[in-house]
């Protein structure tokens, strides 16, 4: 999957944190998480070329919600522990 972030907005740290959260949760189930530098206020998360989160549409993602979106697509049997209970 890919996280495209706006370099002008200095969202690299936020993007890298999001990537680490996803890789910590899903590990080898994810082929990769790519950090993609962009411009113009972009913060978009794509999985197999489908945009599953866009800041312009929905603000920044809640991590628990984002993990559920990813889980439902790549590992529907996986329990997310407390992230499932919000």
Question: Where on the chain is the footprint of a second copy (CB under 8 A)?
Answer: 2, 7, 12-13, 16, 19-20, 23-24, 27-28, 30-39
User: Nearest CA to 47 among 62, 68, 64?
Assistant: 68
Q: Which is nearer to a second copy, 13 or 85 (CB)?
A: 13
Q: How far is the CB of 39 from a second copy (least distance, A)?
A: 7
Q: Which is nearer to a second copy, 10 or 86 (CB)?
A: 10
Give the gyration radius of the chain's Cα atoms.
Answer: 12
Q: How far is the CB of 36 from a second copy (least distance, A)?
A: 4
Q: Which is nearer to a second copy, 18 or 55 (CB)?
A: 18
User: Nearest CA to 65 among 79, 53, 75, 50?
Assistant: 53
Contact 71, 27 (CB under 8 A): no
């Amino acid at each position: 999957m890919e996280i495209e972030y706006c370099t002008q907005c200095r969202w690299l740290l936020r993007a890298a944190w999001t990537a680490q959260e996803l890789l910590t949760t899903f590990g080898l189930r994810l082929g990769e998480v790519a950090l993609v530098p962009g411009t113009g206020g972009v913060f978009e998360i794509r999985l197999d070329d489908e945009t599953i989160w866009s800041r312009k549409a929905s603000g920044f993602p809640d991590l628990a919600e984002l993990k559920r979106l990813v889980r439902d697509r790549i590992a529907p049997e996986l329990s997310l522990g407390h992230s499932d209970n919000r």
